[in-house]
Amino acid sequence: ETGVTQSPTHLIKTRGQQVTLRCSSQSGHNTVSWYQQALGQGPQFIFQYYREEENGRGNFPPRFSGLQFPNYSSELNVNALELDDSALYLCASSSDDREETQYFGPGTRLLVL
Amino acid sequence: SQKIEQNSEALNIQEGKTATLTCNYTNYSPAYLQWYRQDPGRGPVFLLLIRENEKEKRKERLKVTFDTTLKQSLFHITASQPADSATYLCALDNSGTYKYIFGTGTRLKVLA
């Protein structure tokens, strides 16, 4: 176990709705990255937060947004859900002294109908 | 254009043999390259990291090589076991940014 937890494990939404996914980082980790993984594909980088500030973003539209809290837990928010947003959403955390190594949570499976 | 490629076809090997998986990349300058294991419906599990100035890294039955001239990494599992069956992902960070780009993964099946 990596110590990274995510909630909920599964979620079903309909097109146009909004969703919030949560991640609790491993203790002592102040960097969190979020990824989207479609079926049969590798994870795609959405964005990264470091000490509550966004620290880089992948090729995702602004309706994907995030927050990191002082206790280093974080949220991924997706507005105006589209069918193609159906995927496994993963968060990964890393620490200052080993930034190059990230540890993933189990993911949240989102289905958009 | 930038690409990171892994064999999309599944790799089937006999128990006890060495599995070799390939990761090729184009138009990236990775400072780090990582290998992960992923089981169905689960998050990736970190296995090994290799830096751009390292040629080879080992951990128990695992070995990773990194050739920045060929722009390729090879991942070996020696004395493979059915429990090694999973999808293996390679990921690289572009120029030391710690924001990782993943390949699509190769599914490995070790036959008893």
pLDDT tens-digit readout, B42-62: 999 999 999 989 999 999 999
Q: Which residue of A has its CA nearest to B88?
A: A42
Instruction: Collect all residues of chain A within an 8 Å Cβ-Cβ radius of residue B2.
Output: none
Q: Which of A31, A90, A103 sits opposite B46 (nearest CB)?
A: A103
**What does B13-70 look like in DSSP terms, one character per residue?**
EETTSPEEEEEEEES--EEEEEEEEE-TTS--EEEEEEETT-SEEEETTEEEEEETTT
- What residue type is B94 in one-letter code? N
What does the pLDDT read at residue A23?
A: 97
- pLDDT, position A8: 97
Which residue in the set A6, A88, A101 is minimally distant from B49, CB to CB?
Answer: A101
**Do residue B31 and residue A100 have CB atoms under 8 angstroms apart?**
yes
Model confidence at B19: pLDDT above 90? yes
What is the model's pLDDT at position A1?
A: 65
Q: Pick the range with the lowest mean pLDDT from A11-20, A95-104, B76-85.
A: A95-104
Summarize pLDDT for B84-104 with one digit per residue, the tens: 999 999 999 877 677 889 999
CB atoms within 10 A of CB B47: 17
- List CB contacts (< 8 A) between B93 and chain A: 100
Search chain B and give the residue with CA nearest A103: B46
CB A103 within 8 A of CB A3: yes
Q: Which residues of B make CB contacts under 8 Å with A?
A: 31-32, 34, 36, 41-46, 49, 51, 89, 91, 93, 97-105
Contacts of A103 in chain B (CB under 8 A): 46
What is the distance in angstroms between the Cα of A15 and the nearest Cα belonging to chain B?
Answer: 23
- pLDDT digit string (tens) for A11-69? 999 999 999 999 998 888 889 999 999 998 999 999 999 989 998 899 999 999 999 99
Mean pLDDT of B34-43: 94
Q: Give the β-pairing of A74-78 and A87-95.
A: unpaired
